[in-house]
Amino acid sequence: MANVNELAERTGQIAIDPSSQSPAMKPLTALSPSFQTHLNQIYKSLTDSKSTNFTKDIQRDEQEAGTPESDPLSSLDAFRAYMASPPASALRPARQPDITAPITDYFISSSHNTYLTGNQLSSDAAADAYTNALLSGCRCVEIDVWDGEPESESDDDSSSSSSDDENVKDKPKLPKRKKVKSKIGDFISRKVSSHENHGEDGKVAGAANVGPLRLEPKVLHGHTLTKGTTFREVCYAIRDSAFVVSDLPVIVSLEVHASLEQQAIMVEIMEDAFKGLLIEITPEMEAFTTPPPLQELKRKILVKVKWVPATPEDQEDVDDRTDDLEQLEPTNSAASTQSASQAPSKPAKILHSLSKHAVFTKGFSFKQFTQPEAKVPGHVFSLSERAARQADEKYGNAFFEHNRNNFMRIYPYGLRVNSSNLDPTFFWRRGAQIVALNWQNRDKGMMLNQGMFAGEEGWILKPQGYRSTEPESAPITRRTIDLSIEFLAGQDLALPPGHTSEKGFHPYVSCYLHVETPDDAPTPTGENSTDSEKTSYKREIKYANGCNPDFGSQKLEFPTLTGVVEELAFVRFKVKDDEIGRDSLASWACIRLTRLQEGYRVLRLYKTDGSETGGYILVRIMKTVS
């Protein structure tokens, strides 16, 4: 227990932005003239209509038991104070989570190639990327592990493929990275860095345990120009930030390209760094048949790695990258003409002492839903978005039924070299718990992820009809939705990146309602398919001027929609600058439909990089759910 207490004290000292813990709107300290003008008009209109109960009839606020009622319309100052306060936010506060269900009954906020700081080809790998993701609510991170060869050798000779890479036909041929360090220099810098960061608190075992001149595993994106970091640095970064914003479990997804000797070092590092946080391996634990409830895994790190039996002769070369559907799929890509000499090398065997840590998250390659591994308790199938869409199209309901009871992880298509993202809603609607996204890019996919998990601690209970604890006949609740949004005014709107003057800023709002539609097709159209709005209904208002615009009460109405799973529907807002040519994105927001509050509300915006503050918009939201 001492180790756990020490860790809790250490993680409590990490400084984070409070906004990463709660997405609640911060109080507005001042109101812009356009905000004040509209609030004055609203107040007059509401007070003239004395029969209206503002809180219940307009705002439809849920009054908590024992909370004294206050009248926002008691005076103009009281009304302004209310509208500037967190209760007026368009985002409903997250409810106390239900953590009693099995862990497979939750959607999990997940990261792909977490170590990268930018694009998939040439950005650096950094341990800080794990800290940033975990402090932002991510609960499933990925580590690609390679042999710790001296950089002058590994740059030229690294030869295996990330489990998230597509078949070689989808991988562009890449030049070799120039050598930038000697073997000795690389070794010294790695050892100095390791001791400087971890020598004082027991994180490094010391020279006697490390051994002379021992090279440790590295973390990087293979076959690219990315610069690596060390596996040790990554593990300690995870340990120190895993339970700062939440005590719910973190899944560490290992993609192992390292030799058996290096895997033994991985085990040593993990058992040291994650001491007291890993699942205790007992015969009873290994014999489990039903996944444990989420509440039993607080402050635990779950290791997802390819599972192998303990008997060496039973082990095979392992790879849980994708399924046969994708490997056999023809392509018109020029990369398909590459010679066999460019093909990734055969995946390495997995050491059982590493594999045994995958207690509830055992990785297996997917072939079909009737394969024997599909009955192994705690198995995880990992598929690329392309393979997953094909499997959904081929197997239909079997895809969904598998995900009611077992984990599935989806990751981006291999040609998304610019770190663009898939649309996660397609896979959430099919029950996939772990939809891994490139957190380096705040595009549509990451906006939707923010809308899903804002303030939810990274684990969200699936809707009715999606859970293992329900009978197969349990219906999915589908509703009819009517939605309209009136845009009144903006305040302190952020300028697009690179813009420095408010003078030429002409902001307007594009609003998207993301629901499942007939256009939610099973086959992606290409790398940029994530930018397509075919799976949403889009409406736009006309532009206004400046960072504190008056939008003139422009109203956007969406059609009446039936068959909507409200928990998996989203409203997304993009503030753009009306320009000659392509309009630049200035700020955005995304809210799950179940948390979109009615009435006169203040919509908090994020900057294009996901940081605060992108400004605020005064809106009136009218939503009917039946």
Domain residue extents for the chain: 2-13+20-62+70-88, 107-461, 479-625
Q: Residue 384 pLDDT more than 90?
A: yes
Domain 107-461: state its class.
alpha beta
Over residues 425-440, the mean pLDDT reads 96
Q: For 270-304, give the DSSP string.
A: HHHHTTTTBPP--HHHHT--SPPBGGGGTT-EEEE
Q: What is the pLDDT of residue 197?
A: 46
What angle is formed at CA 512 by the lines to CA 509 and CA 518, rounded to 5 degrees?
155
Q: How confident is the model at residue 15 (pLDDT cuts 50, 70, 90)?
A: very low
Q: Which residue has the higher pLDDT, 237 or 442?
A: 237
What pLDDT is attached to residue 328?
36
Q: Distance between CA 114 and CA 597 in Å, rounded?
A: 33
At 486 the pLDDT is 99
Would the pLDDT of 572 be above 70? yes
pLDDT at position 581, please?
Answer: 87
Does residue 340 have a pLDDT over 80?
no
User: What is the pLDDT at residue 461?
Assistant: 98
CA atoms within 13 A on the CB side of 14: 22
Q: Which residue type sits at 452?
A: M
The Cβ of residue 10 has, within 10 Å, a number of other Cβ atoms equal to: 13
Nearest Cα residue to 204 out of 192, 213, 189: 192
* 79-83, 175-179, 306-310: which is most confident: 79-83
Give the integer Cα–Cα distance in Å for 170 and 332: 9
Res. 163: pLDDT tops 70: no
pLDDT for 125 equals 86
Task: Look at 247 and 117; give whichever has higher pLDDT.
Answer: 247
pLDDT at residue 164 is higher than 60: no
Q: How far apart are CA 341 and CA 181, in angstroms?
A: 27
For residue 535, the model assigns a pLDDT of: 60
How much is the pLDDT for 337? 37
CA distance 103 to 338: 42
585 touches 451 (CB < 8 A): no
pLDDT value of position 347: 54
pLDDT, tens digit (0-9, with 9 covering 90-100), for 183-230: 333 433 443 344 344 444 434 444 345 455 689 999 998 877 778 899
Tell me phi and psi for residue 274, to 5 degrees: -100, 25
Of the chain, the end-to-end C-alpha distance in Å amounts to 50
Residue 394 has a pLDDT of 95
Half-sphere exposure of 330 (CA within 13 A, CB side): 1
363: pLDDT strictly greater than 60: yes
Residue 168 has pLDDT above 90, yes or no: no
More confident residue, 48 or 484: 484
Query: Residue 611 above 60 pLDDT?
Result: yes
Structure confidence at residue 488 as a pLDDT band (50, 70, 90): very high
Q: What is the mean pLDDT of residues 569-595?
A: 96
**Structure confidence at residue 213 (pLDDT):** 65
Class of domain 479-625: mainly beta
499-554 pLDDT, tens per residue?
A: 989 999 999 999 999 998 654 544 433 333 444 445 679 999 999 999 999 999 99
Q: CA 610, 237, 106: angle at the middle one, nearest 5? A: 60
As given in the structure block, the two tokens for residue 306 are 């390819």
Question: For residue range 257-286, what is the model confidence (pLDDT) as tens digits?
Answer: 999 999 999 999 999 999 999 999 988 888
Q: Is 39 helix (H, G, I), strand (E, B) or coil?
A: helix
Helix (H, G, I), strand (E, B) or coil at 596: strand
Confidence category of residue 472, pLDDT binned at 50, 70, 90: confident
Average pLDDT of the residues of the chain: 82
Task: Tell me phi and psi for residue 106, to 5 degrees.
Answer: -125, 150
Looking at the DSSP bridge assignments, the partners of residue 383 are 410
Percent of the chain whose predicted confidence (pLDDT) is above 70: 76
Band (pLDDT 50/70/90 cuts) for residue 68 is low
